Chain A
Amino acid sequence: MRLNKAVFLHALRSQADARVRLILAGLLGLVLYAFVSGGVMLNGMGLSGIAALLKACNSLLLLMVWLLGLGLISREASIGSLQLVLLRPITRPSYLLSKWAALAGLAWALLLLTHAAFLGHQGLGGVDGATYAAILAAQALQLAAVAAMVAFFSCVPIAFGELGLLALFAAAFLVLKVLNFRLASEALNQALDLAWRALLPGVDYDGSMGSLWSGAAFNGGVLLAALGGAAAVLRSREFTYADHG
């Protein structure tokens, strides 16, 4: 399994054409910039230092990646151009890997821009250089995991598409979270929390490197599970042109 350059470049070019999504992502980017530059007040308190960077990346940057990645594979499957691609001498896992790499690459570019803005305004944010580098690496892994989750959802053949599926998940979790709904079984509660974290993997940093490592291990697991799941779904799917009998 290796990266296919043609699919990788095509995926990047297709992202650039999705103007509405780009505009929305741009707006999110402005808010993100305001966050990391210390211009946003949250609950009456200005976020500063590394906390602002973590808050911005754990929420806005993840949303941007979800937004940019919608339709990563499902769009091609629904319009029918995927069938032509799959007839070419390229394996389905290779196709998936190339699509994921394009989205992850875009996400990493956004991460670097975010960090550039942060460094420009807040320096290292109160942590030492080694910790800052570890946080950057953890965030890169986090975004790779999110890109893998997007790819997974994009492979699932659901009638109302990945957006519908995502909305369903988000709505269910929102109800559980907002109402602070707790299930009778603690094991189920923990499973729900894990599922929520898998959907939007975060980077935890409470001042100790231990929290970064355990978070990174979880995000690495999400990355592998999502890519493996996506490859399995894509392998099992059948495609045809159903225009005529």
Chain B
Amino acid sequence: MKTQVPSADTAWLIEGHGLSKTYRGGKRPALENASVQVAAGEILGVIGPNGAGKTTLMACLLGLLKPDQGTVTLGGHGVESLQAKARVGYLPERLRFDPWMDGWDFVSFHQALSGRPAARRQADVAEALEQVGLERAAWHRPIKGYSRGMLQRVGLAQALVGRPQTLFLDEPTSGMDPDGAMATRNLIQTFAADGGAVVVNSHQLEQLGKLCHKVVFLKQGRIEATEQWAGPTGLRWSLRWLEQPGGKAKAAEALEKLGLEGASLTKGGLQATVEDEAGAAELLKALVKAGVAVTHAGPLQGDLEKFFHGGGDAAE
């Protein structure tokens, strides 16, 4: 299991440490010693088979469930504190609402609950509904008549209307058409780029691969592996080379000259975070110049399907 070790200057917006939870009457823990950290600008995906503990992890991070062991902080505040709650936006997999509400009422109610000023209500609600692309004609129609995609949109508007710092999303693009899914992905990425932290729980591995910076793989309540392929401020690249005597030492020397920190070297390759594609080209050039026989280079877009079926082995 690979976990991130927070450096002294890393400010995790979402931090769950050593979370364990066994339901009353449960034979085994639904969650066992799970730790996750998400920094500002990061998007974390949570994957795993049904019953793996994804919902339990999400509920513990949100403070809806009290873990038997472990702690959760959001923006440095205990998850049950009002300061932490003021930072949270949550989109459940299936949106629940009062049947009499229309889209506007629903988002407006959550704006009021979020503690945002009443004077900003009209503007906040309109902005959130526009942001998620819910057509104006539907704003004042009863939610019970909404399609699945419209429900996802209004749910996302509800999650965003309180101007949260952290977003927790359960199957955010479920039921959306491809355009809607792409727009939602862009919205989430913009939220993260603006300094927010996001946790996404989904079975749509392809969507997660495009959206997330890192993914945790849960199985039987345990985090089996963590895969990171991009940071909030850079791209994660993977390079492989022909194994030759001294190849690893040459690569290490090239990295040192380049001043690239945080790269992980293995026997026949490395993974490193570069600023952009030009940075990746520079890394490649430096390795070749040092005499490393590079055979493959490319962005580490998590092959989540392989990761999923390999139970996390693909991450090692």
- The answer on a CB contact under 8 Å between B114 and A14 is no
B125 CB to nearest chain A CB (Å): 13
Residues of B contacting A197 in the complex (Cβ-Cβ under 8 angstroms): none
Contact indicator B98/A241 (Cβ below 8 Å): no
Give the contacts of B47-79 with A (CB-CB under 8 A). 48-56, 59, 62-66
Tell me which of B12-20, B82-90, B244-252, B308-316 binds A.
B82-90
Flag if B59 contacts A240 (CB, 8 Å). Answer: yes
A182 CB within 8 Å of chain B: no
A17 to B143, CA, bound (A): 15
In the assembled complex, A83 has its CB within 8 A of some CB on chain B: yes
Q: Considering only CB atoms, which chain A residue lies closest to B170 in the complex?
A: A241
Contact B94 A87 (CB under 8 A): no
Chain B positions 207 through 221: 1 when the CB is less than 8 Å from some CB of chain A, otherwise 0? 000000000000000
Whether A240 contacts B85 by the Cβ 8 Å rule is no
B110 lies within 8 A of A84 (CB): yes
Instruction: Give how many B residues have a beta carbon under 8 Å from the other chain's beta carbons.
Output: 38
Q: Would you call A7 an interface residue if the criterion is a C-beta within 8 Å of the partner chain's C-beta atoms? A: yes
B55 touches A83 (CB 8 A): no
- The answer to whether the Cβ of A239 comes within 8 Å of any Cβ in the partner chain is yes
Residues in B neighbouring A241, C-beta threshold 8 A: 55, 59, 92-94, 170
What's the Cα separation between A17 and B97 when bound, in Å? Answer: 13
**Which one of A44-52, A60-68, A88-96 contacts B?**
A88-96
Q: Which residues of chain B are within 8 angstroms of A90 by Cβ–Cβ distance?
A: 82, 85, 113
**Cα separation A242 to B206 with both chains bound (whole Å):** 24
Residues in chain A near residue B109, CB distance under 8 A: 6, 10
Interface string of A9-25 (1 = CB under 8 A from B): 01001100100000000
* Bound-state Cα–Cα, A5 to B51, Å: 39
Extra contacts besides A83-B92, A88-B110 (10): CB < 8 Å:
A6-B113, A10-B109, A80-B94, A89-B86, A238-B59, A238-B64, A239-B64, A243-B93, A245-B49, A245-B55
- Interface residues of A, Cβ cutoff 8 Å to B: 4-7, 10, 13-14, 17, 76, 79-81, 83-91, 238-245
A-B contact pairs, 5 of them (CB 8 A): A17-B100, A88-B114, A89-B83, A241-B170, A244-B93
State the B residues within 8 Å of A (CB). 48-56, 59, 62-66, 82-83, 85-86, 88, 90, 92-94, 96-100, 109-110, 112-115, 158, 162, 170
